Amino acid sequence: MAFPVNQLRNDFPILSTQVHGKPLVYFDNGATTQKPRQVIDRLVQYYETENSNVHRGAHHLSNLATVSFEGARNFIAQYINAQRTEEVIFTRGTTDSINLVASSFHSFIQKGDEVLITAMEHHSNLVPWQQLCKNKEAHLCVIQVLEDGMLDMPVARKMLSPKVKILAFTHISNVLGTINPVKELVAEAHRYNIPVLIDGAQAIAHVQVDVQELDCEFYAFSAHKAYGPMGTGVLYGKSEWLNKLPPCQFGGEMIDQVSFDKTVFNKLPYKFEAGTPNVADVLGMETALRYLDTLGIKNIQQYEDGLLEHATSSLLKIPGIKIIGRAKQKTAVISFIVEGIHPYDLGTLLDQMGIAVRTGNHCAQPLVESLGLNGTIRVSFGLYNTLSEVDYFIDSLKRAINMLL
């Protein structure tokens, strides 16, 4: 069965808006995705019929909200195949999830220890570890990226040792599109009992995420990059690890008993969820993941691979274009530069033609600089993009290049 892209485009109201008088072509899905009607409706329905603080009241609305909220946790746990529902912690997003682990890890890091990351990390999976190492006089070690955009695996293996207290790396690079060999690296790390955190920000909307199969200790993602609302996301953690880590924010349901002298924290998952939870957006996230589930993530991946291939081969026909990141395993993200042209100029002209792309260092400054670049143009596809949008983009790009050269 062909992927029903024309039909499902109707689910996304924003896709029928115009930009500078041209139909919107949204190729900035790596930054954030657009939302289907179903997700928007879920927010509306919640606020119109269910809104309440959860867990706390003995009244009807509070019960509705609590049941919906915990139902969402349950579905999301199933969706990523967590072993237990309480292994799903609701956070503000990927950055928040990673910071939570890095903060809580303070008590597990000593002077001289090592934290291992890769050279392709987003700032959100770099700076929290860098600051942790700085505080603890530990070492931040960095697995290098090869010319084609893949991790240097032989070197990675050598960098693993009992000194490494945590390995944190991205499932998929937001600049290069590289799908990293997560399972393999996790298994290698486990030989030294090193816990592994995976930054799943760019993965959750594009590939199947099965945390038990990956066997990682932590997995972080944001709803807004998977067709869900802004303002929420998930930290998955193996319960043995989540039980071990101290909480780093305090207040609300995360407390079981408190006196002025002493606090007993609540059990998982509440222990890590301080303050009134963001019920509406969590329900929106559930709806978004159900939407993906209905389409089938493998169908989506296959469809997006088609967009990637078509765009890649079309781009390579344009003289002066260089694609940054040619890993064998890639998702539908293409970073490129055009010789003699500043990415920002291209981005501006493409925008005039209705096409949203991203330019700059994509919050991965060390990576982009290590490639000798001051920025790239990035197109990143979502499930609603089409081959004819890609063709329009290629034509527009040629026009822009002609104007600029």
Nearest to 122 by CA among 207, 208, 180: 180
Q: Which is nearer to other proteins, 123 or 342 (CB)?
A: 342
Per CB under 8 A, does 359 bind other proteins? yes
Pairing assessment for the beta strands 333-338 and 376-380 based on DSSP bridges: antiparallel
**Mapped to the 3 state alphabet, what secondary structure does the chain carry?**
CCCCHHHHHCCCHHHHCEECCEECEECECCCCCCCCHHHHHHHHHHHHHHCCCCCCCCCHHHHHHHHHHHHHHHHHHHHCCCCCHHHEEEECCHHHHHHHHHHHHHHHCCCCCEEEEECCCCHHHCHHHHHHHHHHCCEEEEECECCCCCECHHHHHHHCCCCEEEEEEECECCCCCEECCHHHHHHHHHCCCCCEEEECCCCCCCCCCCHHHHCCCEEEEEHHHHCCCCCCEEEEECHHHHHHCCCCCCCHHHEEEECCCCEEECCCCHHHCCCCCCHHHHHHHHHHHHHHHHHCHHHHHHHHHHHHHHHHHHHHCCCCEEEECCCCCECCEEEEEECCCCHHHHHHHHHHCCEECEEECCCCHHHHHHCCCCCEEEEECCCCCCHHHHHHHHHHHHHHHHHHC
Judged by beta carbon distances under 5 to 8 A according to partner kind, the member of ligand PLP, a second copy, other proteins, none in contact with residue 174 is ligand PLP
Contact 398, 318 (CB under 8 A): yes
Nearest approach, Cβ of residue 51 and a second copy (Å):
6
Q: Is 375 in the site for other proteins (CB under 8 A)?
A: yes
Q: How far is the CB of 73 from other proteins (least distance, A)?
A: 13
192 binds, among ligand PLP, a second copy, other proteins, none (CB under 5 to 8 A by kind): none
Which of 126, 341 has the CB closer to ligand PLP?
Answer: 126
**Smallest distance from the beta carbon of 24 to ligand PLP, in angstroms?**
21
CB under 5 to 8 A by kind: which of a second copy, other proteins, ligand PLP, none does 231 bind?
a second copy
Asked if 377 and 359 count as a contact pair (C-beta separation under 8 A), the reply is yes
- Smallest separation (angstroms) from a second copy to the CB of 81: 25
Nearer Cβ to ligand PLP, position 104 or 125? 125
Q: Is 248 known to be catalytic?
A: no
Closest CB to other proteins among 255 and 404? 404
The nearest distance, CB 201 to a second copy, in angstroms, is: 9
- Rounded least distance, CB 355 to other proteins, Å: 13
Residue 229 interacting partner from other proteins, a second copy, ligand PLP, none (CB closer than 5 to 8 Å by kind) = a second copy
**Residue 55 binding result from ligand PLP, other proteins, a second copy, none, given CB thresholds of 5 to 8 Å by partner type:** other proteins
Q: Which of 181, 306, 360, 366 binds other proteins (CB under 8 A)?
A: 360
Q: Which does 200 bind (CB under 5 to 8 A by kind): other proteins, ligand PLP, a second copy, none?
A: none
Binding residues (CB under 6 A) for ligand PLP: these are: 93-95, 122, 124-125, 170, 174, 199, 201-202, 222, 224, 252, 275-276, 363
Query: For other proteins, which stretch binds (CB under 8 A), given 58-66, 88-96, 208-216, 295-303?
Result: 58-66
Partner from other proteins, ligand PLP, a second copy, none binding residue 181, C-beta < 5-8 Å depending on class = none
What are 64's two structure tokens?
Answer: 């509705």
How many angstroms separate the most distant Cα atoms in the chain?
71
Q: Quote the least distance from Cβ 32 to other proteins, whole Å.
A: 16
Instruction: Please say which residue, 314 or 359, places its beta carbon nearer to other proteins.
Output: 359
Query: Annotated catalytic sites, by residue?
Result: 363
- What residue ranges bind other proteins (CB under 8 A)? 20, 55, 57-59, 62-63, 66-67, 70, 341-342, 344-345, 348-349, 351-353, 359-360, 374-375, 403-404
